[in-house]
């Protein structure tokens, strides 16, 4: 059953930050960076912009994560762990919650592809065959092309769901939503009648909070689609163009669009005028949709000032 997205619709807009580690960082260097993350300063910036929520990356391709996870360490076996000692998510929540700012998290749906040890230990296998984000009309499940990921990644997904469930159970209601990137092999990996599948994937994310919102990203697709009935809102990744919207619901999922304010994801200077950003935010909201704006974030945890100014312009106008 889908979670209630009314609070998300009412939020109207939010902020997305890719807080990532450089590949060459050692675990100790990563711990030092995460320890220095100024959660109060970031919360001050978001509050000044009247931002209703932020979505923060847990980690990405380097294999470094900004929060501990015993299941991940058990499966991967890297010592010292590339998961930080500090639980940055919990610490950030403690600063955001009194200000009424909600917290969502980002995680890739696959293993960190620039960490060969993690790739091997988590049993991830890349696929190369065509994938279909949703079934072509007229194809039944048994007729659908399944791609080349198939059984080889079943063991990976079982492990990955345990990693996700550990985080979810630890944070409980502190985390209001998940955005899963890279669900490019949806038919091969998740559109299966038995677990692991979309249902078990969503259940892992909701293990600690059944009302947590979940989205699965198939990549940049226009118009925006819903990948499965087991997601609560659309991942909505778009790149250069700002698409039209029709209504709040996309095949039963809350409409949400994610794009960047900079020249690309987490980089550059603001590419739009304040007037355009405000107008498009209002346009999406007029359809009862939600828009999330990605901005760069520094190792210290601060958003560069030009982006803070633009976020404040949005907050004052929406």
Percent of the chain with pLDDT over 90: 87
End-to-end CA distance of the chain: 31
CATH of domain 6-317: 3.20.20.80
Contacts of 55 (CB under 8 A, 6+ apart): 14, 15, 16, 17, 103, 104, 105, 106, 177, 179, 292
- pLDDT attached to residue 208: 98
Residue 263 predicted with pLDDT over 60: yes
Average pLDDT over residues 152-177: 96
Residue 136 predicted with pLDDT over 70: no
**Tokens encoding 87:** 């639980």
Average pLDDT over residues 221-227: 95
pTM, 2 dp: 0.92
Instruction: Map out the domains of the chain as residue ranges.
Output: 6-317
Average pLDDT over residues 239-246: 92
> How far apart, in whole angstroms, are the C-alpha atoms of residue 309 and residue 318?
15
What backbone torsions phi and psi does residue 292 show, to the nearest 5 degrees?
Answer: -115, 125
Residue 145 predicted with pLDDT over 80: no
Quick count: other Cβ atoms within 10 Å of Cβ 272? Answer: 17
Average pLDDT over all residues of the chain: 92
Residue 140 predicted with pLDDT over 90: no
> How far apart, in whole angstroms, are the C-alpha atoms of residue 268 and residue 307?
10
Residue 195 predicted with pLDDT over 60: yes
pLDDT band at residue 142 using 50, 70 and 90 as cut-offs: very low
Residue 137 predicted with pLDDT over 60: no
Q: State pLDDT tens for residues 55-98.
A: 999 999 999 999 999 999 999 999 999 999 999 999 999 999 99
């Amino acid at each position: 059953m889908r979670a209630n997205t009314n609070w998300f619709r009412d939020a109207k807009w939010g902020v997305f930050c890719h807080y990532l580690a450089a590949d060459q960082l050692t675990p100790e260097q990563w711990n030092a960076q995460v320890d220095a993350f100024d959660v109060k300063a970031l919360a001050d910036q978001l509050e000044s912009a009247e931002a209703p929520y932020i979505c923060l990356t847990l980690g990405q391709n380097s294999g470094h994560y900004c929060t501990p996870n015993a299941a991940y360490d058990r499966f991967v076996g890297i010592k010292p762990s590339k998961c930080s000692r500090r639980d940055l998510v919990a610490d950030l929540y403690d600063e955001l919650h009194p200000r009424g700012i909600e917290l969502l998290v980002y995680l890739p749906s696959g293993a960190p592809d620039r960490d060969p040890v993690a790739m091997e230990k988590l049993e991830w296998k890349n696929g190369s065959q065509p994938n279909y984000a949703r079934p072509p009309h007229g194809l039944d499940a048994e007729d659908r092309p399944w791609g080349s990921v198939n059984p080889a990644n079943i063991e990976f997904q079982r492990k990955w769901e345990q990693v996700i469930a550990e985080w979810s159970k630890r944070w409980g209601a502190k985390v209001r939503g998940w955005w899963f990137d890279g669900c490019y092999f949806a038919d091969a990996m998740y559109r299966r009648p038995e677990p692991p599948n979309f249902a078990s994937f969503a259940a892992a994310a909701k293990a600690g909070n059944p009302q947590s919102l979940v989205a699965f990203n198939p990549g940049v697709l226009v118009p925006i689609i819903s990948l499965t009935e087991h997601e609560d809102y659309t991942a909505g990744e778009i790149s250069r163009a700002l698409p039209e919207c029709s209504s709040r619901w996309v095949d039963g999922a809350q409409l949400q669009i994610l794009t960047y304010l900079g020249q690309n994801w987490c980089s550059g200077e603001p590419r739009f005028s304040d007037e355009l950003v405000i107008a498009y935010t209002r346009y999406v909201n007029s359809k009862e949709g939600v828009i999330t704006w990605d901005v760069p974030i520094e190792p210290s945890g601060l958003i560069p000032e030009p982006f803070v100014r633009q976020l404040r312009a949005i907050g004052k106008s929406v």
